[in-house]
Chain A
Amino acid sequence: QKEVEQNSGPLSVPEGAIASLNCTYSDRGSQSFFWYRQYSGKSPELIMSIYSNGDKEDGRFTAQLNKASQYVSLLIRDSQPSDSATYLCAGGGTGGFKTIFGAGTRLFVKA
Protein backbone atom coordinates (compact mmCIF):
# COMPACT_ATOMS: atom_id res chain seq x y z
CA GLN A 1 0.00 0.00 0.00
CA LYS A 2 1.61 3.22 -1.17
CA GLU A 3 1.17 5.94 1.42
CA VAL A 4 1.95 9.57 2.06
CA GLU A 5 1.93 10.49 5.72
CA GLN A 6 1.44 13.92 7.21
CA ASN A 7 0.85 15.15 10.71
CA SER A 8 -2.75 16.37 10.74
CA GLY A 9 -1.92 19.25 13.06
CA PRO A 10 -3.05 21.80 13.70
CA LEU A 11 0.30 23.51 13.48
CA SER A 12 0.12 26.95 15.00
CA VAL A 13 2.78 29.59 14.38
CA PRO A 14 2.89 33.33 15.06
CA GLU A 15 2.81 35.79 12.23
CA GLY A 16 6.26 36.34 10.77
CA ALA A 17 7.62 32.98 11.90
CA ILE A 18 8.73 30.07 9.76
CA ALA A 19 6.17 27.30 9.36
CA SER A 20 7.64 23.85 8.74
CA LEU A 21 5.42 21.17 7.24
CA ASN A 22 6.64 17.63 6.88
CA CYS A 23 5.68 14.59 4.87
CA THR A 24 6.99 11.05 4.45
CA TYR A 25 6.22 8.61 1.68
CA SER A 26 6.44 4.87 1.41
CA ASP A 27 6.97 4.30 -2.31
CA ARG A 28 10.65 4.51 -3.21
CA GLY A 29 9.60 4.60 -6.86
CA SER A 30 7.99 8.00 -6.44
CA GLN A 31 9.77 10.57 -8.54
CA SER A 32 7.66 13.70 -8.27
CA PHE A 33 6.35 15.49 -5.23
CA PHE A 34 3.89 18.29 -4.80
CA TRP A 35 2.59 20.65 -2.17
CA TYR A 36 -0.95 21.95 -2.45
CA ARG A 37 -2.73 24.51 -0.32
CA GLN A 38 -6.43 24.12 0.38
CA TYR A 39 -8.49 26.81 2.03
CA SER A 40 -11.63 25.74 3.83
CA GLY A 41 -14.43 25.11 1.35
CA LYS A 42 -12.13 25.49 -1.65
CA SER A 43 -10.26 23.09 -3.90
CA PRO A 44 -6.51 22.44 -3.65
CA GLU A 45 -4.14 24.89 -5.29
CA LEU A 46 -0.67 23.85 -6.43
CA ILE A 47 2.10 25.64 -4.56
CA MET A 48 5.23 23.79 -5.61
CA SER A 49 6.53 20.69 -7.27
CA ILE A 50 9.92 19.12 -6.63
CA TYR A 51 11.65 16.28 -8.41
CA SER A 52 15.29 16.33 -7.29
CA ASN A 53 17.00 15.99 -3.95
CA GLY A 54 17.67 19.28 -2.24
CA ASP A 55 15.87 22.56 -1.89
CA LYS A 56 13.64 24.44 -4.27
CA GLU A 57 12.67 27.99 -3.45
CA ASP A 58 9.78 30.05 -4.75
CA GLY A 59 9.17 33.32 -2.97
CA ARG A 60 8.41 32.61 0.68
CA PHE A 61 8.11 28.89 0.04
CA THR A 62 10.93 26.34 0.07
CA ALA A 63 10.34 22.69 -0.69
CA GLN A 64 12.92 20.16 0.44
CA LEU A 65 13.27 16.60 -0.82
CA ASN A 66 15.37 13.81 0.62
CA LYS A 67 14.79 10.63 -1.36
CA ALA A 68 17.11 8.55 0.80
CA SER A 69 14.98 9.34 3.85
CA GLN A 70 11.74 9.42 1.81
CA TYR A 71 11.00 12.80 3.27
CA VAL A 72 9.52 15.98 1.82
CA SER A 73 9.03 19.26 3.61
CA LEU A 74 7.67 22.71 2.96
CA LEU A 75 8.96 25.80 4.71
CA ILE A 76 6.93 28.98 4.70
CA ARG A 77 8.95 32.02 5.68
CA ASP A 78 7.41 35.17 7.14
CA SER A 79 4.13 33.34 7.70
CA GLN A 80 1.01 35.44 7.25
CA PRO A 81 -2.52 34.86 8.55
CA SER A 82 -3.52 34.35 4.92
CA ASP A 83 -1.31 31.25 4.89
CA SER A 84 -3.72 29.57 7.30
CA ALA A 85 -4.99 26.57 5.37
CA THR A 86 -4.58 22.84 4.99
CA TYR A 87 -1.43 21.83 3.15
CA LEU A 88 -1.50 18.61 1.15
CA CYS A 89 1.62 16.68 0.28
CA ALA A 90 1.48 14.39 -2.74
CA GLY A 91 3.85 11.95 -4.36
CA GLY A 92 3.76 10.27 -7.74
CA GLY A 93 5.74 8.66 -10.48
CA THR A 94 5.95 9.78 -14.06
CA GLY A 95 4.31 7.99 -16.92
CA GLY A 96 0.90 7.38 -15.45
CA PHE A 97 1.56 6.25 -11.92
CA LYS A 98 -1.13 7.32 -9.52
CA THR A 99 -0.43 10.38 -7.42
CA ILE A 100 -0.94 9.66 -3.75
CA PHE A 101 -2.13 12.49 -1.51
CA GLY A 102 -1.54 12.84 2.18
CA ALA A 103 -4.43 13.72 4.46
CA GLY A 104 -3.07 17.23 4.94
CA THR A 105 -1.69 19.37 7.75
CA ARG A 106 -3.77 22.24 9.06
CA LEU A 107 -1.74 25.40 9.58
CA PHE A 108 -2.86 28.35 11.69
CA VAL A 109 -0.90 31.57 11.57
CA LYS A 110 -1.77 33.78 14.52
CA ALA A 111 -1.81 37.53 13.98
Chain B
Amino acid sequence: GAVVSQHPSRVICKSGTSVKIECRSLDFQATTMFWYRQFPKKSLMLMATSNEGSKATYEQGVEKDKFLINHASLTLSTLTVTSAHPEDSSFYICSARDGQYTDTQYFGPGTRLTVL
Protein backbone atom coordinates (compact mmCIF):
# COMPACT_ATOMS: atom_id res chain seq x y z
CA GLY B 1 0.00 0.00 0.00
CA ALA B 2 0.81 3.73 0.08
CA VAL B 3 1.90 4.02 -3.52
CA VAL B 4 2.44 7.41 -5.11
CA SER B 5 2.90 7.80 -8.84
CA GLN B 6 4.29 10.71 -10.83
CA HIS B 7 3.99 11.49 -14.48
CA PRO B 8 5.98 12.08 -16.55
CA SER B 9 9.15 10.52 -15.21
CA ARG B 10 11.30 12.55 -17.54
CA VAL B 11 10.61 15.60 -19.66
CA ILE B 12 12.71 17.76 -21.93
CA CYS B 13 11.28 21.07 -23.04
CA LYS B 14 12.30 24.28 -24.69
CA SER B 15 12.89 27.44 -22.73
CA GLY B 16 9.71 29.47 -22.35
CA THR B 17 7.29 26.57 -22.43
CA SER B 18 5.21 25.28 -19.53
CA VAL B 19 5.41 21.80 -18.12
CA LYS B 20 2.80 20.03 -16.00
CA ILE B 21 3.73 17.25 -13.59
CA GLU B 22 1.08 15.02 -12.05
CA CYS B 23 1.26 13.34 -8.67
CA ARG B 24 -1.26 10.68 -7.72
CA SER B 25 -1.83 8.65 -4.59
CA LEU B 26 -2.92 5.28 -5.95
CA ASP B 27 -4.26 3.42 -2.95
CA PHE B 28 -5.00 6.05 -0.34
CA GLN B 29 -6.50 9.47 -0.03
CA ALA B 30 -3.97 12.21 0.48
CA THR B 31 -5.30 15.32 2.13
CA THR B 32 -1.82 16.81 1.92
CA MET B 33 0.76 16.52 -0.79
CA PHE B 34 4.20 18.07 -0.92
CA TRP B 35 6.40 19.19 -3.79
CA TYR B 36 10.17 19.07 -3.55
CA ARG B 37 13.01 19.78 -5.89
CA GLN B 38 16.45 18.33 -5.66
CA PHE B 39 19.63 19.32 -7.45
CA PRO B 40 22.37 16.72 -8.03
CA LYS B 41 24.03 15.62 -4.81
CA LYS B 42 22.01 18.14 -2.83
CA SER B 43 19.33 17.69 -0.21
CA LEU B 44 15.59 17.82 -0.74
CA MET B 45 14.17 21.31 -0.87
CA LEU B 46 10.51 21.68 0.01
CA MET B 47 8.80 23.95 -2.48
CA ALA B 48 5.20 23.91 -1.32
CA THR B 49 2.56 22.11 0.68
CA SER B 50 -0.64 21.33 -1.14
CA ASN B 51 -3.92 20.70 0.64
CA GLU B 52 -6.93 19.35 -1.19
CA GLY B 53 -9.39 22.06 -2.10
CA SER B 54 -7.30 24.98 -0.91
CA LYS B 55 -4.42 27.10 -2.07
CA ALA B 56 -0.93 25.74 -1.75
CA THR B 57 1.45 27.09 0.86
CA TYR B 58 4.75 28.02 -0.71
CA GLU B 59 8.10 28.05 1.03
CA GLN B 60 10.05 31.26 1.21
CA GLY B 61 11.79 32.07 -2.03
CA VAL B 62 9.56 29.88 -4.21
CA GLU B 63 7.65 31.88 -6.81
CA LYS B 64 4.01 30.85 -6.67
CA ASP B 65 3.28 32.36 -10.10
CA LYS B 66 6.05 30.31 -11.64
CA PHE B 67 5.29 27.04 -9.89
CA LEU B 68 1.52 26.61 -10.05
CA ILE B 69 0.11 23.93 -7.80
CA ASN B 70 -3.38 22.53 -7.97
CA HIS B 71 -4.73 19.88 -5.61
CA ALA B 72 -8.11 19.23 -7.13
CA SER B 73 -8.89 15.91 -5.49
CA LEU B 74 -7.77 13.68 -2.65
CA THR B 75 -5.64 11.66 -5.05
CA LEU B 76 -4.22 14.20 -7.47
CA SER B 77 -1.96 17.20 -7.25
CA THR B 78 -0.30 18.92 -10.19
CA LEU B 79 2.73 21.16 -10.44
CA THR B 80 3.03 23.38 -13.49
CA VAL B 81 6.36 25.01 -14.18
CA THR B 82 5.46 28.06 -16.22
CA SER B 83 7.79 29.75 -18.71
CA ALA B 84 10.52 27.28 -17.88
CA HIS B 85 14.15 28.31 -18.04
CA PRO B 86 17.32 26.22 -17.96
CA GLU B 87 17.81 27.03 -14.27
CA ASP B 88 14.50 25.24 -13.57
CA SER B 89 16.10 22.00 -14.69
CA SER B 90 15.98 19.75 -11.66
CA PHE B 91 14.53 16.60 -10.14
CA TYR B 92 11.00 17.31 -8.92
CA ILE B 93 9.55 14.91 -6.38
CA CYS B 94 6.10 14.84 -4.86
CA SER B 95 5.06 13.12 -1.68
CA ALA B 96 1.74 12.41 -0.08
CA ARG B 97 0.76 12.08 3.53
CA ASP B 98 -1.47 9.13 4.18
CA GLY B 99 -3.81 10.63 6.69
CA GLN B 100 -4.76 13.66 8.67
CA TYR B 101 -3.22 12.38 11.88
CA THR B 102 0.03 10.95 10.65
CA ASP B 103 3.19 12.52 9.33
CA THR B 104 4.32 9.61 7.21
CA GLN B 105 5.14 10.82 3.71
CA TYR B 106 5.35 8.51 0.74
CA PHE B 107 7.31 9.77 -2.21
CA GLY B 108 6.57 9.50 -5.88
CA PRO B 109 9.34 8.32 -8.20
CA GLY B 110 10.19 11.86 -9.28
CA THR B 111 10.26 13.79 -12.53
CA ARG B 112 13.50 14.84 -14.12
CA LEU B 113 12.99 18.12 -15.96
CA THR B 114 15.51 19.37 -18.48
CA VAL B 115 14.94 22.79 -20.00
CA LEU B 116 16.95 23.50 -23.12
Indicate if B8 sits at the interface (CB-CB under 8 A): no
Question: Contact size class for A?
Answer: 20 to 34
Q: Does the CB pair A103–B104 fall under 8 Å? A: no
Additional A-B contacts beyond A36-B107, A43-B108, A94-B101 (6; CB < 8 A) = A32-B102, A32-B103, A34-B104, A46-B106, A94-B103, A98-B46
Q: In the complex, which of the residues A43, A49, A99 contacts B109, with contact meaning CB atoms closer than 8 Å? A: A43
Bitwise interface map of A from 14 to 50 toward B, beta carbon under 8 Å scored 1, else 0: 0000000000000000011010100001111110010
Indicate if A88 sits at the interface (CB-CB under 8 A): yes
Contacts of B95 in A (CB 8 A): 44
Given contacts A43-B93, A44-B107, A88-B44, contact A94 B32 (CB under 8 A): no
Interface set, chain B 66-106, CB cutoff 8 A to A: 91, 93, 95, 100-106
Between A and B, 8 residue pairs with Cβ closer than 8 Å are: A34-B104, A34-B105, A41-B91, A93-B103, A96-B32, A96-B100, A101-B46, A103-B43
Say what secondary structure dominates the interface of chain A. Answer: loop
Q: Which 5 A-B pairs have the closest CB atoms?
A: A92-B103, A103-B43, A43-B110, A43-B107, A32-B103
Task: Give B residues with C-beta under 8 Å from A.
Answer: 32, 43-44, 46, 49, 91, 93, 95, 100-110
Q: Does the CB pair A94–B49 fall under 8 Å? A: no
Task: Give A residues with C-beta under 8 Å from B.
Answer: 31-32, 34, 36, 41-46, 49, 88, 90, 92-99, 101-104
Given contacts A42-B110, A43-B93, A43-B108, contact A97 B103 (CB under 8 A): yes
CB distance from B31 to the nearest CB of A (A): 9
A111 to B64, CA, bound (A): 46
A102 to B109, CA, bound (A): 19
